[in-house]
């Protein structure tokens, strides 16, 4: 049975959680001696307005609550806000008559990478991030901390069969472009102004073979130094901002 509550820590993640759904915040912990600090004081004021309980605890207690994460002196316990599972049809219906930009992440295990990808996805206006239910880290406290509030705003859709999902996207008119260092076509020579889903693979392993087969095209990021590949969150940023650049240019802004 899935947990009904979760812990979120870090100034930005907590602030966004309070902004989004203050009624779901059950407890707010602040490190003793830090409550007068600027950003923390603002969060305390938000909690007071929402009539949420505040407890001042030792750093050791916060370290334990956050399981050793970098909590910046603050954490909350809140009701878990469910991540939509398989709600792809509703998403695509909502995106009718638009030019969707989706990010598909195949098997990310590192919560820091997933959090960074979510943050970039939000910054670039991605409509949703799609992840498989298996062999992927969930949107946990570490992910929310690194995402710096993006997990509260960018839809994350978990699907049971990624290959079938790519087929569904294609049937709705999206092009699925998979990132592969072995691809001959470069991302900069690919038209990203059309409805697209950018598909990136796990750290080190890249795209799974079945995922690769279901992509319309494989593209690469040109590399000019000695390293062979980029961290997945960096690669996602490169690809997404290239899509944004092309779309801005295409719109004439």
Q: What is the CATH number of the domain that holds 13?
A: 3.30.1330.30
Residues 175 and 242 in one domain: yes
Residues 111 and 235 in one domain: yes
This prediction's pTM: 0.75
Which percentage of the chain shows pLDDT scores above 90?
Answer: 43
Residues 50 and 119 in one domain: no
Number of domains, the chain: 2
Residues 145 and 36 in one domain: no
> Which pLDDT value is given to residue 120?
96
Provide the CATH number for the domain around residue 145. 3.40.1280.10
> Which pLDDT value is given to residue 84?
46
Domain span at residue 21? 5-79
Distance (Å, whole) CA 141 – CA 40: 19
Domain boundary, last residue among 79, 97, 125: 79
- Average the pLDDT over each of 50-54, 118-122, 218-222 and give the range with the smallest value: 50-54
Q: What is the pLDDT of residues 77-105, one digit of tens each?
A: 888 765 544 478 888 888 877 899 999 99
Distance (Å, whole) CA 142 – CA 69: 7
> Which pLDDT value is given to residue 71?
86
Domain boundary, last residue among 28, 51, 79: 79
Per residue, the 3-state secondary structure of the chain, as one string, reads: CCCCEEEEECHHHHHHHHHHCHHHEEEEEEECCCCCCHHHHHHHHHHHHCCCCEEEECHHHHHHHCCCCCCCCEEEEEECCCCCECCHHHHHHHCCCCCCEEEEEECCCCHHHHHHHHHHHHHCCCCEEEEECCCCCCCCHHHHHHHCCHHHCCCEEEECCHHHHHHHHHHCCCEEEEECCCCCEEHHHCCCCCCEEEEEEECCCECCHHHHHCCCEEEECCCCCCCCCCCHHHHHHHHHHHHHHHHHHHHCC
Average pLDDT for the chain: 87
- State the average pLDDT over residues 29-45: 80
């Amino acid at each position: 049975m899935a947990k009904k509550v979760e812990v979120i820590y870090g100034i930005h993640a907590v602030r966004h959680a309070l902004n989004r759904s203050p009624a779901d915040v059950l407890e707010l912990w602040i490190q003793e001696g830090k409550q007068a600090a600027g950003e923390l004081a603002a969060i305390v004021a938000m909690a007071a307005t929402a009539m949420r309980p505040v407890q001042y605890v030792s750093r050791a207690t916060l370290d334990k609550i956050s399981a050793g994460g970098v909590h910046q002196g603050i954490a909350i316990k809140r009701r878990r806000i469910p991540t939509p599972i398989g709600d792809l049809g509703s998403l695509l219906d909502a995106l009718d008559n638009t030019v969707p930009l989706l990010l598909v992440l195949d098997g990310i295990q590192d919560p820091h990478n997933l959090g960074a990808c979510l943050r970039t996805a939000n910054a670039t206006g991605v409509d949703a991030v799609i992840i498989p239910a298996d062999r992927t880290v969930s949107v946990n406290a570490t992910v929310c901390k690194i995402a710096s509030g993006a997990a509260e705003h960018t839809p994350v859709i978990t699907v049971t069969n990624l290959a079938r999902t790519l087929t569904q996207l294609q049937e709705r008119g999206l092009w699925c472009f998979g990132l592969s260092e072995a691809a001959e076509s470069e991302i900069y020579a690919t038209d990203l102004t059309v409805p697209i889903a950018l598909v990136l693979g796990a750290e080190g392993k890249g795209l799974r073979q079945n995922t690769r087969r279901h992509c319309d095209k494989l593209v690469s990021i040109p590399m000019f130094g000695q390293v062979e590949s980029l961290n997945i969150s960096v690669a996602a940023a490169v690809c997404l901002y290239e899509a944004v650049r092309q779309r801005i240019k295409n719109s004439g802004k």
